[in-house]
Structure 1
Amino acid sequence: MDAPELDRGIDPELLAQAERLGMSVAGMSETQLRLHLQKVDPAGGEARARRWAEENAEAIAEHNERIARRGLISDHFRRW
């Protein structure tokens, strides 16, 4: 099986991080790889999370504004 077959479905950024660290990802799911990388390279995960937040800041702000205006879908279930 060639490398692309092994890596199908795994976030390319995670694969690049693993490659930089010289890790083999054969047989790993994305979740397993993500958990392992958090242990061996926590700074890489923090940088990825920071980039994600920056890239999605506009959508997050819009979502928060909508919730502030309309409330949560589940608000009617609250008893407090």
Structure 2
Amino acid sequence: MTNSLQPYEVLFKPSPLTGEQQRTLNDLLNKKGLSNRAQIKIIRLARTISDLERSHRITDQSILVAIHLNSGTLQR
């Protein structure tokens, strides 16, 4: 099953976000005035990037890449 079809809670079972990762996302959302839905999209994308890198955890780098790749969406 792809990450896009996984229930939100399942994305975190193997690798919950660290406190720093969560703060980074929250800061971004607050700064841009975005919804939790935008955060979920970034997390799903970061999980996919981490999977492709064969990482069992969502990495800081995958979150940054996901934010960058999603930046067109986030600027709207």
Given the two structures, how large is their TM-score scaled by the length of structure 2? 0.31
Bigger relative contact order, structure 1 or 2 (CA pairs below 8 A, ≥6 apart): 2
Pick the structure with more helix per residue.
1
Structure label with greater radius of gyration: 1
